[in-house]
Amino acid sequence: MNIGALVSGVIAAVAKVNACSKDGKMSQDDAEEIVDMLCKALVGAFIARIGTGSSNSKNDEKVKEFFNSCTSTPNVNPKFEDNTLPLEAYLINKEYFNLKTSILKGSAKAEARANIFEDGKLRPNLKLGAEEEMKMVEFSAETKRFGDKDFGIQLDGNVTGIKEKAELGVYFGENKDTGKFDCCVKGGAIATLSEATATQKFTILGAEIEIEETGYAGGIGAEGKIGLDKGKMKAKIGACEIIGGSVSLSIGVAD
């Protein structure tokens, strides 16, 4: 690649953009001229590359740095997260089964993140959302998975008294906590006096299928979610008006 030609073309295009920015105006002719300058620089660089068959690695690194400084958008990443430490106690804690109770369990978080380039690479990411949840008392039961990734089963469940939850969010891009891809939309607001949830997880030939059913009593609200979440396809819908319920299905690769 002819680095000199590419750099010269990019610098000329950036200079044209800066000139338009100072005037506070950019006509259609200006925009077309800038695009034309960039296209000519790129095509010229590759034509020269075909002719020479070589490239200077030091210049390549300089171009990457320059390109990132000119094209990458500043990362926006305000984030807030707070978790209320509940009073917890294990009523039963065995190798394959445990029963735990939690009192005053709450969490709240909000995040706004948007970027196109990150660490010198094209890595679009969008996270806009807020979640808040409070549970007065919860009893949760969990079994360890019996079997392996080829064939296994796990059964969980919980019962909650006086719960309220509100969430709204759009997520697209890599999840830094898991390293997996997210692309989902979720939202809802619901409050209940009591609810019970049963969860079944099955692993079949390396795939994990999770089904969750929840029953609500003495509440009002609705919730929903669809998309890729932590690398798994998930869909959930639920509603409550005095009595109601929700169902959730998740399919992905077993951990």
Tens of pLDDT along the chain (255 residues)? 445 555 566 556 556 655 655 555 556 566 556 556 655 655 555 444 444 444 455 555 654 554 454 444 444 456 777 777 788 899 888 888 899 999 988 888 888 877 776 666 667 788 888 888 999 999 999 998 888 878 899 999 999 999 999 999 988 888 777 778 888 999 999 999 999 999 999 998 888 999 999 999 988 999 999 998 888 899 999 999 889 999 999 998 887
208, 85: one domain: yes
Domain count, the chain: 2
Q: List the one residue out of 60, 58, 56, 12 whose CA is nearest residue 37.
A: 12
Which pLDDT belongs to residue 50? 42
32, 88: one domain: no
Q: List the one residue out of 171, 237, 238, 235 whose CA is nearest residue 252.
A: 235
Which pLDDT belongs to residue 202? 92
Segments of the chain assigned E as strands: 79-84, 87-93, 97-118, 121-143, 146-147, 151-174, 181-204, 207-229, 232-253
47, 139: one domain: no
55, 149: one domain: no
Which two three-digit tokens encode residue 57?
């690695």
89, 19: one domain: no
Which pLDDT belongs to residue 7? 53
| 55, 71, 87 - which closes a domain | 71
157, 123: one domain: yes
Which pLDDT belongs to residue 58? 54
Which pLDDT belongs to residue 5? 56
Which pLDDT belongs to residue 30? 63
Which two three-digit tokens encode residue 55?
């490239």
151, 219: one domain: yes
181, 109: one domain: yes
53, 11: one domain: yes
| 20, 50, 71 - which closes a domain | 71
61, 176: one domain: no
What range defines the domain where residue 40 resides?
3-71
Residue 92: C-alpha distances to residues 24, 99, 136, 139 (Å):
69, 5, 20, 11
38, 123: one domain: no
Which pLDDT belongs to residue 231? 80
CB 137 within 8 A of CB 160: yes
128, 241: one domain: yes
| 21, 53, 71 - which closes a domain | 71
